[in-house]
Amino acid sequence: MNVIEVKNLTKDFGDFRAVNDLSFSIEEGKITALLGPNGAGKTTTIQMLLDIITPTSGSISFFGKDLHTNKEEILSKVNFSSPYVALPSNLTVMENLLTFARLYGVKKPKQKIEELADFFEIRNLLPRMTTSLSTGQLTRVNLTKAFVNDPKVLLLDEATASLDPYIADKTLTVLERMQKERKVTILYTSHNMAEIERLCDRVIFINKGTLRDDGTPQELMSKFGHKDLNDVFISIATEEE
């Protein structure tokens, strides 16, 4: 069963086409990578999946329902994390997390936050203002927010950016466990190809807003004649139109 269906998605910003007739589907309970070089259209695609920006044309559906007409119902089952999205700076970490938990209608929100805070090792950060945190600390706070509503779909943009190897490995381990135990569907972007090879069942490559290739990491390495996904990435990023 496909949890996400993207059909002929296009987004124009004036004369610039950021996403060009993009179609793909995401299977339930799988971890799928959305990869491409900087400027490939990944962020724009994710923003459309979150209904932050409206497509110029095309359609997006979650759980068989159109996103635009069922936004509230769908997004209650979805969460998102990116180290590049700022949290409100006039709140403490706990206040930020409580606000998001209440928006999602989480039962016993403080208990849920404390459980996640222990896992991501941010309990000591809960009373601090977000403006006082390092980039790595903010990344961990964003990941805590992403899990607060036990989402059915996770959109993770550079989830381990700025994390030390220990916390990064721990994060990947919990993603693997959630996939197996809860059948959480994850769309994952990263420039760390070792993470993608470890974590992802499938890889979607886009460049210049267009689908370039799609397959398992092993299928793509075999197709391009490379021994690792990093070389596949380079091949696709530098190919001619």
Domains in the chain, CATH or no CATH each:
2-77+151-237 (3.40.50.300), 87-150 (no CATH)
Assess contact for 187 and 49: CB atoms under 8 A.
yes
pLDDT at 234 over 80: yes
Mean pLDDT of all residues in 145-158: 93
The residue type found at 189 is: T
What global pTM score does this model have?
0.90
Strand order through the sheet with 185-189: 78-81, 153-157, 185-189, 31-35, 202-207, 210-215
Instruction: For 83-131, write each residue's pLDDT tens digit.
Output: 888 889 899 999 999 999 999 999 999 999 999 998 888 999 999 999 9
Residues 187, 133, 137: CA angle, nearest 5 degrees: 40
CA–CA separation, 27 and 37 (whole Å): 24
- Could you tell me which residues come within 8 angstroms of residue 177 by beta carbon, excluding any fewer than 6 positions away? none
Residue 240 pLDDT grade (very low, low, confident, very high; cuts 50, 70, 90): low
Given this model, what pLDDT does residue 175 score? 86
Instruction: For 3-17, write each residue's pLDDT tens digit.
Output: 999 999 999 999 999
pLDDT at 216 over 90: yes
